A and B are shown apart, each in its own frame.
Chain A
């Protein structure tokens, strides 16, 4: 079961075991992790589920498709839509940083 850790801007963090195939967004919403809004329900439309992936993990994630790239356009280098990050056993231990706001 892959384990994922969410770090907040205030330094707090929370870790959860997830099922293979769950998205980073779904795990966050299920556990009420603050700061991941996911207003469109995971449809890659709203860009309110953004996370910054820890650099040590960024290269190990499948690349963003055209739609995701259009939504993270202009964001920092390791920003991804968490609804598009599907967990696998190879991602056990993944660490993501939740931004202070999804709207700036």
Chain B
């Protein structure tokens, strides 16, 4: 621990609760972190502990590992706020917040009442055929190949295609979007991140200008024409909503696709089970969402409180570690085992009022990916010669998923 880090630790933090923690931005592993690293935290660390560099940018914060404690924080608006946990605007000198992820009640609830109908299972039915055809189109490119790097071939472009469609943008903008997504969420360089933030918000403002005053069935037009009570959304709110979609709906889906296909490649008997009985797919996805929960957010304490006997003071950041909560051995028997029959209630999409707005869409994407690809592709395994690096912070994501196909000679 450096002197600078020590200087930022407040006096109320008991020194024995200061720990190192692998899941922070910038850390990497060549292991599969879900084999051992995730479960080791439950074995060796107390329920709540303090990590000097856990907050993006290098600041300190608390890590909460238990499912029950996380559930309590998610539903505690009296002591915790979501404001400012993803400060992209601040970094480019603007002041919008992500809508609705960085809004507290009561405004938050108004946003959700407005946006929920866009993402219900019923509303998503009209996307179904398009999502299937996107999956099929991506698969055609490697259908007869002996191998494929699944992350770049499917896991990244699949959700990007769908978001382009929802925004009413042409698929020809795919490469540009993927570059911006990479700079925003996977590039350690702050200048690249800021430039990508300007590019993405600039694009949204351009779309708003072009579509204002017109009817349209895309999400930008929806936001331009929406009413919140007796007012329309402000331009900042519309930018915040579009940006929230961008950061919430792309990398998260990519991550889960990567882990699911990696899991099936490393566990061929379970891959065979899904091929033999596709009706198992929804339960398999639910269990893999649990075991591979990869996306965490932060809360900021706004009123002094305690978690498991530990005092939390206003200003303290708290990592809502879904990875750990969904793998809590106090709740899940042998959490390291992926059991398709488990049917767990997990924290992959969070809990409480901010539970992921897009989770039904995410589930359709994951389900369609498995339903479309498994029957059309031969049995696959991980390339035994490949070393797979996994980013451990931000969203826990492998940098590649190299698959090799069993093809008859």
Q: Is A70 an interface residue (CB 8 A)?
A: yes
Taking residues whose C-beta sits less than 8 angstroms from the other chain, chain B's interface range is 20 to 34
Interface centre among A41, A47, A71 (most CB of B within 10 A): A41
Q: Is B39 an interface residue (CB 8 A)?
A: no
Interchain nearest-CB distance for A19 vs B (Å): 20
Contact A74 B116 (CB under 8 A): no
| Stretch binding the partner chain, chosen from A9-17, A32-40, A53-61 | A32-40
Q: Which residues, 190 to 224 on B, are CB-close (under 8 Å) to A?
A: none
Instruction: Tell me whether A43 and B352 are in contact in the complex, defined as CB-CB below 8 angstroms, given that A74-B123, A101-B282 are known contacts.
Output: yes
Contact B352 A40 (CB under 8 A): yes
Q: Which residue in A40, A66, A72 is a CB contact (below 8 Å) of B355? A: A40
Contact B121 A43 (CB under 8 A): no
Chain B residues close to A by CB (< 8 Å): 71, 74-75, 109, 112-117, 120-123, 282, 343, 345-346, 349-356, 359-360, 363-364, 367
Alpha-carbon separation in the docked complex, A66 to B229 (Å): 11
Contact B74 A41 (CB under 8 A): yes
Chain A residues close to B by CB (< 8 Å): 34, 37-41, 43-47, 66-67, 70-75, 101, 103-104
Given pairs A39-B349, A67-B116, A103-B363, 16 additional interface contacts (CB within 8 A) = A37-B345, A39-B346, A39-B355, A40-B351, A41-B75, A45-B354, A46-B355, A47-B116, A67-B109, A73-B120, A73-B122, A74-B117, A101-B282, A103-B121, A103-B282, A103-B364
Residue ID in chain B nearest A69 by CB atoms: B113
Contact A45 B112 (CB under 8 A): yes
Instruction: Tell me whether A67 and B120 are in contact in the complex, defined as CB-CB below 8 angstroms, given that A43-B351, A46-B359, A47-B360 are known contacts.
Output: no
Chain A residues whose CB sits within 8 angstroms of the CB of B353 once the complex forms: 40, 43-45
Alpha-carbon separation in the docked complex, A103 to B119 (Å): 11
Give the dominant DSSP class at A's interface.
loop
Contact B120 A74 (CB under 8 A): yes
Instruction: Tell me whether A66 and B113 are in contact in the complex, defined as CB-CB below 8 angstroms, given that A75-B120, A75-B122 are known contacts.
Output: yes
Contact B112 A41 (CB under 8 A): no
Query: How many A-B contacts are there with CB distance less than 8 Å?
Result: 73
Alpha-carbon separation in the docked complex, A66 to B353 (Å): 14
Chain A residues whose CB sits within 8 angstroms of the CB of B363 once the complex forms: 103
Chain A residues whose CB sits within 8 angstroms of the CB of B364 once the complex forms: 103
Interchain nearest-CB distance for A44 vs B (Å): 8
Contact B120 A47 (CB under 8 A): yes
Interchain nearest-CB distance for B374 vs A (Å): 18
Contact A70 B282 (CB under 8 A): no
Alpha-carbon separation in the docked complex, A74 to B117 (Å): 8
Contact A67 B113 (CB under 8 A): yes
Interface centre among B116, B121, B354 (most CB of A within 10 A): B116
Residue ID in chain B nearest A73 by CB atoms: B117
Contact A70 B345 (CB under 8 A): no
Residue ID in chain B nearest A50 by CB atoms: B121
Chain A residues whose CB sits within 8 angstroms of the CB of B345 once the complex forms: 37-39
Contact B74 A103 (CB under 8 A): no
Interface centre among A67, A71, A72, A104 (most CB of B within 10 A): A104
A–B Cβ pairs within 8 angstroms, 19 of them: A37-B345, A39-B345, A39-B355, A40-B352, A41-B75, A43-B74, A43-B75, A43-B353, A46-B359, A47-B360, A66-B113, A67-B109, A67-B116, A70-B113, A70-B114, A70-B117, A74-B123, A103-B282, A103-B364
Residue ID in chain A nearest B115 by CB atoms: A70
Chain B residues whose CB sits within 8 angstroms of the CB of A45 once the complex forms: 112, 352-355
Chain B residues whose CB sits within 8 angstroms of the CB of A43 once the complex forms: 74-75, 351-353, 355
Residue ID in chain A nearest B117 by CB atoms: A73
Alpha-carbon separation in the docked complex, A43 to B355 (Å): 9
Contact A70 B116 (CB under 8 A): yes
Interchain nearest-CB distance for A38 vs B (Å): 7
Interchain nearest-CB distance for B277 vs A (Å): 16
Chain A residues whose CB sits within 8 angstroms of the CB of B282 once the complex forms: 101, 103
